Amino acid sequence: MVSFKFLQETYSKNISKFLEMISLTLMLLSLPSFEAPKNIFLILFLTIALFREWSQKKNKSWEFWDWIFLSYILSSFLSAIFAGFSTSEVWGGFRSILIWTGFAWLLSRSKYNPQEITWIIWIAILGTLPPLIWGLIEYLVIHTKSALELHSVGHVNHSAIYLGIVLGAALSVSLSNWKTDGIFKKLISLSLPIFFFIAIIIGQSRGVFGVSLIRITLIILLIPNSKKIKLMAFGIFGIILALMPIMDAAIIQKQTANQHLNDVFSDRERAWNVSIESAHFFPILGVGNGNWKNITLNDLKKSRDARNLPFDERIYGIEHHHSHSIYLTALVERGIIGFICLILLMASWLLLLIKTYANLEKIPQGAYLWGCSLSAWIVTFGVGVINSTFHHEHAILALLFLGLHLSFVNQLPTKKLKIRNNYA
């Protein structure tokens, strides 16, 4: 875990940074659990971090990632100004993207030390346990929920996405510290990713489950450890997978039932059809942030008629109210410009992971921070093909790890990789 000595050492003469860390900590604890508090603490953090950035702006240069974040925000701003559909949702959608992206942007320009980063990661992981335990009780014990949900994250797929990111973070921390942790810490830290993985199975999100297998494999292979430790980790998750058919896991039942109904993608094809056709409406800047749900069958028919194409309303699922894909959402709501900015963000994030691996894997903090960032990227990019992964709580969680990754990397040249390894 993390030593508390750094609290007095770091904050005794820096009240603003103390308040920044407190607000970030409380926001992360509230993020999967309480709606109003997480918003209050997030705004408080952004306000304090903006003040920090303004007061230190003379000492900071404009870099590549600043352009990436700015372009993503601007694409949403333009789609609000020039929205194809004039509704109130366009500015609400822009506000959300501004907050999430600004959150990562401010984190990337912070100078959190390894102790602080370790603290933040543990808070993000441990803060998931209370709503997860309560969600399991609601679903399995008192039966007040029909599926596993984190209280403030909501829908089963969104809760599974959140758990998927946390699973990768917890596994990265466990494996990165395996050589130095005592037996008690090893048991605790390894039990967390196992618990999160079982919860994902119970949650029945097939997309997150499938991507989790890829993520677990990559983290085990890429986090530096002996072959014995890697085989042990593969063995543990292999046993869980082997038990799934024996226990007749609900996720297997769901997949089997959908196959029998010839509905493998749970009717997502009809939502995708809406998106593909709607992309013709306003191809440059889209229909506007959050306006997917305002698309009507009449809009789709007019678009088809204008191109002399037949129209069959049965193949369009406007009742889904969103596209079930971050890529199609970007294309429809923010047009080609928004889509390009999304791909640029994802490609830049992947390049960051590739370029920094060689340095970060040498440092325990760097190794598990890299694994956290990898987990967030894989879930956002992979599950995003069939779900809305850049959405509220899990967007904030994913961008938290991206922002911390950038903050850590930005400090490596001055520190010359001489970072103490006894804080985890």
Residue 416, pLDDT above cutoff 50: no
pLDDT value, residue 133? 95
Rounded to the nearest angstrom, the gap between the alpha carbon of residue 13 and the centroid of all alpha carbons in its chain is: 34
Each residue's pLDDT tens digit, 392-407: 898 999 999 999 999 9
In the chain, pLDDT over 70 holds for what percent of residues? 90
Each residue's pLDDT tens digit, 126-172: 999 999 999 999 989 998 988 888 988 878 888 999 999 999 999 99
pLDDT value, residue 417? 41
pLDDT value, residue 413? 58
Extents of the domains making up the chain: 66-260+324-415
Each residue's pLDDT tens digit, 314-369: 999 888 877 889 999 999 999 999 999 999 999 999 999 999 998 888 887 888 89
